[in-house]
Amino acid sequence: MSPQPKNLGELRRSPWSEEKIASRTVRQELRENLLQKLEKGEPIFPGVHGYDDTVIPQITNAVLSRHHFILLGLRGQAKSRILRGLVTFLDAQIPVVTGCEINDNPYLPICRACRERIAAEGDATPISWLGREQRFVEKLATPDVTIADMIGDVDPIKAARSGRNLSDELTIHYGLLPRANRGIFAINELPDLAGKIQVGLFNIMQEGDIQIKGYPVRMALDVLLVFTANPEDYTARGKIITPLKDRVGSEIRTHYPATVAEGMAITAQESWTNREGKRRVQVPEYVREIVEEVAFQAREDKRVDKRSGVSQRLPISTLENVLSSAEQRAVRSRDSAVVARVADVYAAIPSMTGKFELEYEGEMRGADNIARELIRAAVGKTFTKYFKDVNFQAVVQWFEIGGELKVPANAASGELLSQLKKIQGLFEHLETLGVRSKDDAAIQASAAEFILEGLWAHKRVNRSEERGFFAETRKTPEPREPREPSGRMPRRQFN
């Protein structure tokens, strides 16, 4: 492999000829490399789940069309992750003029400093190589962002040191957008940008000219602009100026996972569950499903604000907290294994309450109570999936004849298992969950507790903090006085 060219002369004699890169824009580069990925059958956005048939084909169309585009979606829908994934469509490296602030193309420089340097040094002009990761510039839009931050400003110190007039192009301190030249410029939460900043953006997108301190500077920037926004903010009047919306080529809507299985795949990928330590760690599949189902229940609950959404970070944080609760219990009780239980999902409520905004009715109930109700609904739905047509009459009858069981939160698995085995018919159903009698005590106890929680979710048995699991005893009905056929009480005889 030949060494990379170090100056403009070597670059001209290399495969990086003027014909190859002088007229090849960054959007054309993205298009060509994406087509190669499609031909090879490579994944477009590795690690992004649930968008294969919806969002990713639309992004592919936008890139192939060489469009600037915007992703519209609620929080926690992988918008930023997708934008950062666009760098994989860029070349591994590109040549730039050494020391240039805006990554000038050696064959087609747009800043005056580089043009003068190449004119003076010719083929001896030094060349550097810019990696794809350095060609992605990201900015979170906030109301305090200025045009100087985005476009640039006159630098009086630079003017004084060089003895130049302030209107000279060489006195400009470039902002983020020019520094993203020949790359991708991403703006998160676009509607939060002030209107005058948005004007500066659409001028760059369409006309390629900017004004700094009233001095017009023609700069044909080569950049792909991509944005993210909340759908409500984007469509609200006054949030986005119309000319900017008109210049965005494609508007793509993201969404939350469509199925629990898709959500579980994302949560498993993003959550920290590989804990170090001497104890074996296990989160049963039904516990993972319950955690994911909590997010689905929250997104459908009328007491949760739909405009804010329920981020995928909720099940991610919850699963990590569930495992930490199980880990803490195992250490305290000296269990040999860390196995999560449904009780650990309730212990993880602090990781849920900050992840959703409540409507008025929900505020009246309180976030903790809403979270408990969401967990109970999630347990009930998951329980139905595993035990749709299973008869638990023997278990329910054990409670109805006076049986009670209180499950201490930090009870050792062996101790809990011995208590659970007193319930008639309970362990006959563990095989449905893939649990066998020879399995670890912690696994059996977790499965048995899930069944009891499922019966409580479906109101087959009761549960309280004081008594644990129980059933209301049936009261013997009091004898009633006989009635006359008309339904009236019999007349009393008085002496």
Residues 246, 270, single domain; the answer is: no
- Extract the runs of DSSP E, i.e. beta strands, from 329-478: 337-339, 462-464, 468-470
- Extract the runs of DSSP E, i.e. beta strands, from 357-466: 462-464
- Extract the runs of DSSP E, i.e. beta strands, from 319-378: 337-339
Angle at CA 231, nearest 5°, toward 230 and 237? 105
Residues 249, 265, single domain; the answer is: no
Mapped onto helix, strand or coil, the DSSP state of residue 224 is: strand
State the CATH number of the domain containing residue 246.
3.40.50.300
pLDDT of residue 168: 64
Most distant CA atoms of the chain, gap in Å: 134
Query: Do strands 136-140 and 183-188 pair parallel, antiparallel, or not at all (unpaired)?
Result: parallel
Residues 315, 180, single domain; the answer is: no
Whether residue 495 lies inside any domain: the answer is no
| Cross-strand partners of 338 | 281
pLDDT of residue 492: 46
Residues 161, 52, single domain; the answer is: yes
Residues 304, 443, single domain; the answer is: yes
Whether residue 492 lies inside any domain: the answer is no
How many domains are there within the chain? 2
CB count within 10 Å of CB 353 equals 14
Residues 289, 211, single domain; the answer is: no
Residues 344, 277, single domain; the answer is: yes
Question: H or E segment at 137?
Answer: strand 136-140
pLDDT of residue 484: 53
pTM, whole model, 2 decimals?
A: 0.85
Distance CA 440, CA 449 (A): 14
Whether residue 484 lies inside any domain: the answer is no
| Cross-strand partners of 126 | 7
pLDDT of residue 476: 47
Range of the domain at 439: 260-470
Whether residue 296 lies inside any domain: the answer is yes
Which of 253, 268, 286 is where one domain is finished? 253
Angle at CA 33, nearest 5°, toward 130 and 125? 30
Q: What is the DSSP letter of 304?
A: B
Q: What is the pLDDT along the chain (495 residues), one digit of tens a residue?
A: 467 889 999 998 888 877 677 778 999 999 999 999 999 999 999 989 999 999 999 999 999 999 999 999 999 999 999 999 999 999 999 999 999 989 999 998 888 889 889 999 999 999 999 999 999 999 998 888 888 888 877 766 666 566 666 566 666 778 898 899 999 999 999 988 888 888 878 777 776 666 666 666 677 888 999 999 988 877 765 688 888 888 899 999 999 999 999 999 999 999 999 988 888 999 999 999 999 999 999 999 999 998 889 999 999 999 999 999 999 999 999 998 999 999 999 999 999 999 999 999 999 999 999 999 999 999 999 999 999 989 999 999 999 999 999 877 778 898 899 999 999 999 999 999 999 988 899 999 999 999 999 999 999 999 988 889 998 765 445 555 555 555 555 554 444
Residues 311, 452, single domain; the answer is: yes
Residues 341, 313, single domain; the answer is: yes
